[in-house]
Amino acid sequence: MTISLTAEQERVLADAVRFGLARNQDDALAKAFDTMRERMPAHASTGATAETVTAAARRLANFGKRHKLSLGGMSIRELLDESRP
């Protein structure tokens, strides 16, 4: 795949490196993609399946129990649902 960047997009990548937000322009671009992936609904991402969401919820619940944390009366499922756009 070939990707063409505008001059502005190239400047943003260079600035990310200059300001220490990334090691190089490839790293800056990877971080931009990571940010977009995190903002996508779980069902839109090929990497986020119901199984991975369930596993993450289970790990979160175990962490909460281990550290005696409270979700203020919310269930893990309600918390996950609330976090989605």
In a domain, 75, yes or no: yes
Per-residue pLDDT reduced to its tens digit, 15-52: 999 999 999 999 999 999 888 888 877 655 555 566 67
Q: Is the pTM of this model over 0.95?
A: no
Domain of 66 in residue numbering reads as 49-83
Within this chain, do residues 55 and 79 fall inside the same structural domain, yes or no?
yes
In a domain, 1, yes or no: no
Long-range contacts, 39-47 (Cβ 8 Å, 24+): 39/85, 41/84, 41/85, 42/84
Q: What are phi and psi of 82, to 5 degrees?
A: -70, -30
Q: How many domains does the chain have?
A: 2
In a domain, 60, yes or no: yes
In a domain, 61, yes or no: yes
CA distances from residue 60 to 5, 37, 47, 81 in whole angstroms, order as listed: 39, 20, 19, 14
Within this chain, do residues 35 and 54 fall inside the same structural domain, yes or no?
no
